Amino acid sequence: MPTFTSYDGTVLSYREIGEGLPLVCYPGGPGRSVEYLGDLGGLSGSRRLTLLDPRGVGESADPADPASFRVDHLVNDLESLRVHLGLDQLELLAHSAGSILATLYAAAHPDRLSKLLLITPGLAAAGVDLTDELLNAGLERRSSEPWYTSALEAMEKISAGSRSMEAYHASRPFFYGRWDETARAHAAVGVSERHQAAREGYFAGITIDPPAIAADLKKLTAPVLLYAGDQDPLVPPAMVQQAAPVFPDATVIVQAGSGHFPWVDDPETFAGNVAAFLD
C-alpha cells in the first residue's frame, strides 16, 4: 500500500481502488480501518478511490504524540494527503464519525474542496446531536427482530460510556437494514483492539464550537451531499435534514431500506446515487 509522511512525521497508509478522478475517502468508527469501506458498493467503477487509514489504525503507524489522535488535529493529515497527491482540490467522502473530521476540514480549508460527501454522518461539528427521542424511536422500530433484546442491552452499555469490543459487536444488528450473512461479515471488518487509542483519542479533550464552524463554512463553495439511511438509528434522516442549512449548497439523499452502511445494504442504489452527485 502507498504511504506518505504527514505533518508531524507519522507515516500514513492509503489504498487506491479503481480508475478515474480521485475521490479521497475517510472512514468512521472512530478508529476503524478503511478496509470496511470496500469499494463503496462499486463506486470504484466511476472514481479512483483513495482510502486513508487514520493514524494508529490499519496499516498506518502509531503517532509519537497521542494528542494527535484528536479529530481537530487529524485535519492536518487530510491536508498532508492532499499535498502528497498533488491536488489543488479534493473530492472528499467521509463516513460516520469521519464526517466530523471532514466538516472541520471544510471549515479550515473551504477552498481546498471541490465536492464534499458525508455518508450517514456524525454531525456534532454542524451543531446537530442525536436526541434520546430520535434514538429510542429508531431502536424501537426493530423491536420485532430476534436479536433486539441483546442488541438493545449493548446499545445501553455504549450510551453509558462502554467502549468494550463485546458491546460493540453485540450492537451491530441495529446498524444494518437487515442482519444477514453479508452484514455479519461486514461488521467485523476493519475492527481491532490495536485501534483503541485512536478510538479514545478522537474526541479526547476537544471543545467543538458549531457557531464558529458554521461561520467558516459560509466560505465553502463546494456542493455537499448529506446521505442517510432510513433505517439508521444513529443518524436518522431528520438529523441530516436539520444539518443541511449549515452548508451553503447541500443535497440530501435518504436511501430506503438502509442503515448506517448503505453501500452494504443496497450497493447498486448507493453507488448510483453517489456517482450521479459526483458527475
CATH number at residue 74: 3.40.50.1820
- In terms of residue numbers, what domain contains 106? 3-142+193-278
| 54, part of any domain | yes
Residue 227: its H or E element: strand 224-229
What value does the mean pLDDT of the chain take?
96
Q: How confident is the model at residue 12 (pLDDT cuts 50, 70, 90)?
A: very high
pLDDT at 158: 87
| 199, part of any domain | yes
| 222, part of any domain | yes
| 112, part of any domain | yes
| 171, part of any domain | no
| 184, part of any domain | no
Helix 71-85 to helix 98-108 angle, to the nearest 10 degrees? 70
| 150, part of any domain | no
Q: How confident is the model at residue 162 (pLDDT cuts 50, 70, 90)?
A: confident
How many folded domains does the chain comprise? 1
Residue ranges with strand state E in 54-194: 90-95, 113-119
| 169, part of any domain | no
